[in-house]
Amino acid sequence: MAHFGYFLSSEEHGPKELVDQARMAERAGFDCLWISDHYHPWNGQQGQSPFVWSVIGALSQAVSLPVETAVTCPIVRTHPAVIAQAVATSAVQLDGRFRFGVGTGEALNEHILGGAWPEASVRLEMLQEAVEIIRKLLTGEQVSHYGKHYVVENARLYTVPGEPVPVDVSAFGPQSAEAAGGFGDGLITMGPAADMVERFRSSGGADKPVAGGLKVCWNTVREDAVRTAHRLWANEQLPGELAQILPTPRHFEQACELVTEEQVSSSVPCGDDPDTHVEALTAFVDAGFDAVYVNQIGKDQQGFFDFYRTKVLPRLRDRQSA
C-alpha cells in the first residue's frame, strides 16, 4: 500500500512554522515528511528559506514521522564531505527515520558562491561522485578521495548512524531516471509520470521505492485558492530547464509574468472538493508510486490538515483497502 506524506515547504514558511506543520501533519494522519532544501525561495512572495539541517534537528524532537530532504543538491554550494556530516547527524537524531533525497539542483540556490553553473549532464556526473563520497563517509571509516570533481583528504565522521542511510535520487527526465535506477536507493519526482517509474525500474530500480510530490491549494472558495496558488507558485508551470538555470528570485518573477491563472487552475488541485484531491493523489498510486507527498499552498494550514484528516486521507486508504 502507498504511503501518504506531507511536503514541508522551506521556501514559503519559517522554521517554527515548519515544525508546527509537521506536528499538524502527524495529528492529521500523514505517514511521513518531505522537506525542501533551498538557499533562496523561488520568488519574493514565498519569502522564506531557513537552513534545512537546523529544521531537521527540531523535527527529530517534535514528531515521530520519517523525514527526507526533497531534495538536497550536494555538488556546488556545499561540499559533499560537509553534507555527509549533516546527513549522519540527522540520521542519528531521527533513529533510522531519515532518508536523504538528492538532485542536481538549480542555479537559483547553487550559483551563490560565484562559480560556473555546469550543464545538466555534468551535474549528474558530479552528483554520482558526491553520493559515492557521502556513502563512504557514512561508514565511519577514514576517507581520502581524489576524483574528477572533488577531493577529500583524511576525513572521518565520528557520529554516524548504525545502518546505511538510503539515498533517493530526484529525476525529471529519461537520462536522470536511468541514472537514478543505477546509483540511487529510490526515485523522487514530481507528477504521476508512469513512464518515469518504468524507466527507473528497468534501469536497476526494480525493487526500489518511488516517491512523488504535488502541490494543492485547499480553500472553501476555489477562485481564492487559484489566485493564491498563482501568486505563490506560478513558477511550477515554467517549462523546460528554466527552473534549473534562472539565477535569482527576481528572474523567476519575471518569467512567471507569462503564467496565467488559467494554467494554474488546470494544473493544481484547488478548492475543497474531496474528489479533486483524492483523484490527484490516486493518479500517483495508479502510476506505480510507493509514496505521495502533498504540500498545501498558502497560510491556511490548519484548515488543510482538518480537510485531509476528515475527507481525503480516509478515502485514499479505503480505496487501497478495497
Which cell goes with 187? 526515485
Which cell goes with 141? 571509516
Query: Could you identify the residue written with the cell 480505496?
Result: 319
Determine whether 197 is exposed, middle or buried from the number of CB atoms within 10 Å of its CB (0-12, 13-18, 19+): buried
Q: Which of 11, 12, 26, 38 is catalytic?
A: 38
194 three-state secondary structure: helix
The beta-strand segments (E) located in the chain are 3-8, 33-35, 67-69, 98-102, 143-146, 151-155, 167-170, 186-190, 210-216, 291-296
Assess whether 106 carries a catalytic annotation. Answer: yes
The C-alpha atoms of residue 4 and residue 317 are separated, in whole angstroms, by: 9
Q: How far is CA 35 from CA 49, 51, 70, 160, in A?
A: 11, 11, 6, 21
Diameter of the chain measured on Cα atoms: 59
The C-alpha atoms of residue 172 and residue 25 are separated, in whole angstroms, by: 27
Q: What's the Rg (C-alpha) of the chain?
A: 19
Check: CB of residue 191 under 8 Å from CB of residue 214: yes
The C-alpha atoms of residue 280 and residue 22 are separated, in whole angstroms, by: 22
209 three-state secondary structure: coil
Q: How far apart are the first and last CA of the chain?
A: 11
Determine whether 11 is exposed, middle or buried from the number of CB atoms within 10 Å of its CB (0-12, 13-18, 19+): buried
Q: Which of 106, 110, 230, 236 is catalytic?
A: 106
Active site residue ranges: 38, 106
